[in-house]
A and B are shown apart, each in its own frame.
Chain A
Amino acid sequence: MRPKPSGAELLDLARRVLRDDVAAELSGPARYKALMAANAMAIVGRQMAAGTEAEVRMLERLTAILGHDGACADLEGELAKALRAGDFGDDRDVHALLLESVEAKLRESNPRALAVEIGG
């Protein structure tokens, strides 16, 4: 058994110390870098918490739209090629799939942008 607190809890605490205690004592480029580092840690924390659920869903939807299965990255590549070739032009299902994929990424990369978008 790994000791408590967990890695996720440690990461979160370290991020808050960096943002609230360390960055507050700094100014200029050093403060900016500390805040960027805290932001990077926040992204890692959200990725750890989110797990692979979104990728599994995306794989199901990609399989349904393309009509065969495969690795997620390969299917994304195939969809990108099809879009480039002019397929799925105004396809609502593809638009919905892309939206869902982007929202899943945003929940990890920048959940605030998602809140703004939905709120406004």
Chain B
Amino acid sequence: MDDAQRETLRTYLSERAGGDVAITRMEPLTGGAVQENWRLDITVDGGPWPGEHALVLKKDAPNAIATSRGRAEEYRLLKWADGAGVTVPRPCMLCEDPSVIGAPFFVMHLVEGEAAGHKLARRPDDDELAAALGVNLARIHAIQPPADQAAFLGAPPQDPARSAIATYRRDLDALPDAHPAIEWGLAWLERNAPTLGEAVLCHRDYRTGNYMVGDDGVLTGILDWEFAGWSDPLEDIGWFMAACWRFGARDREAGGIGAREAFYDGYEKESGRSIARERVGYWEVMAHVRWAVIALQQADRFVTGGTANLEWALTAHVVPELELEILNMTEPG
């Protein structure tokens, strides 16, 4: 962001804050592949929010991938989650006008803590954290988006499992090589698909690595809402439990941080609904298939697309690990 954009941003923030804003710090945060994140500290003189504020600015990146939501939609999701009592970075303001800093952006309060999966998986067992994550997921699944704002989510799928299978098959067809081990997993998922599907608002990337934990071990924020959408609530639970998101702490089945039952307990107490434990494994297979497909798409941006990004290139080499899990979970009886 250049000086001119910074000044335009400052003027814009002053208008929105109803006071004179000074930007005291602005630096890029290491962000995801689909957006640009900035640490933004401001001081407001006058207006309803006087004083110092530590914030994060999230801006659409030029190479955003098609399946992820734009900032305006992510902001709306954050607002709903905040209103439903989910621990999230509190959203402050949305700017849909791309002329201010070149792309739509929103601003939220900074939350402190550690998000890195491999670090969280090295902390001592933490069933309290696992339970808190269960509670928060139950609150997400209870969100009833206002009908007039929810059009971007599309219609809830009648059959979340089968529509996910169809999506991943289409995704595989768009890639250059054949992937028989993933096809094996998809065929198993088709044969074992639940007969009755139910759709609620799901986070769809609810896993270790996408939430912040403070120094005291307390959950400080659920992050990365850009994949949220309608699905079976068990999809989120299976994604969270999946072995591929335990960061080496395989025995701590709830995201490498605590016990599976502690998470379930938090979810069930908050939602008043019981989790069909025998159905979660199905969605753990789905989780590995989904991550494998995403990893292949990411690698293909280098292989076919020519984007010289070593991290994306190496993602292809995560796939065999996922395929091994898929095959082990679907061994013929």
Contact = CB atoms under 8 A, between A and B. Distances in A.
Q: Please say whether chains A and B are actual partners in one complex.
A: yes
Contacts of B313: 40
A118 B268 CA distance: 34
A61 B313 CA distance: 29
Interface stretch (B73-81, B90-98, B199-207, B318-326): B318-326
Given A95-B331, A98-B180, A120-B250, A84 B320 contact: no
Given A33-B310, A83-B187, A98 B181 contact: yes
A2 to B, nearest CB: 27
A102 B178 CA distance: 13
Contacts of B323: 98, 102, 105
A106 B316 CA distance: 11
A99 B248 CA distance: 21
Interface residues on chain A, size class = 35 or more
B327 A95 contact: yes
Given A89-B191, A109-B320, A117-B324, A102 B310 contact: no
Most chain A CB neighbours (cut-off 10 Å) among B181, B250, B323, B330: B181
Contacts, number: 90
Interface stretch (A3-11, A18-26, A72-80): A72-80
Interface in B280-333: 310-311, 313-314, 317-321, 323-324, 327-328, 330-333
Most chain B CB neighbours (cut-off 10 Å) among A29, A84, A94, A110: A84
A68 interface: no
Nearest to A102: B323
Interface string A82-120: 011010011110110011011101100110011011001
A29 B311 CA distance: 12
Contact of A80 (B180, B248, B328, B330): B180
A84 B298 CA distance: 23
A79 B310 contact: no
A86 B310 CA distance: 36
Interface in B111-156: none
A73 B321 contact: no
A4 B332 CA distance: 50
A63 interface: no
User: Which DSSP category, helix, strand, loop or mixed, fits chain B's interface?
Assistant: helix
Interface residues of B, number: 33
Most chain B CB neighbours (cut-off 10 Å) among A102, A113, A114: A102
Contact of B324 (A36, A77, A81, A106): A106
B194 to A, nearest CB: 18
A113 B178 CA distance: 23
Given A40-B313, A105-B320, A90 B178 contact: no
A5 B97 CA distance: 60
B6 interface: no
Given A36-B310, A80-B180, A109-B321, A92 B332 contact: yes
Contacts of A77: 177-178
A43 interface: yes
A50 interface: no
B327 A113 contact: no
B181 A113 contact: no
Contact of B177 (A40, A73, A81, A94): A73
B159 interface: no
Given A106-B320, A109-B317, 10 more contacts: A36-B311, A76-B177, A76-B180, A95-B184, A99-B327, A102-B181, A102-B327, A110-B320, A110-B321, A117-B324
Interface of B: 30, 169, 177-181, 183-184, 186-187, 190-191, 248, 250-251, 310-311, 313-314, 317-321, 323-324, 327-328, 330-333
10 contacts: A33-B310, A36-B314, A80-B178, A83-B180, A84-B187, A90-B332, A95-B330, A98-B327, A99-B327, A102-B323
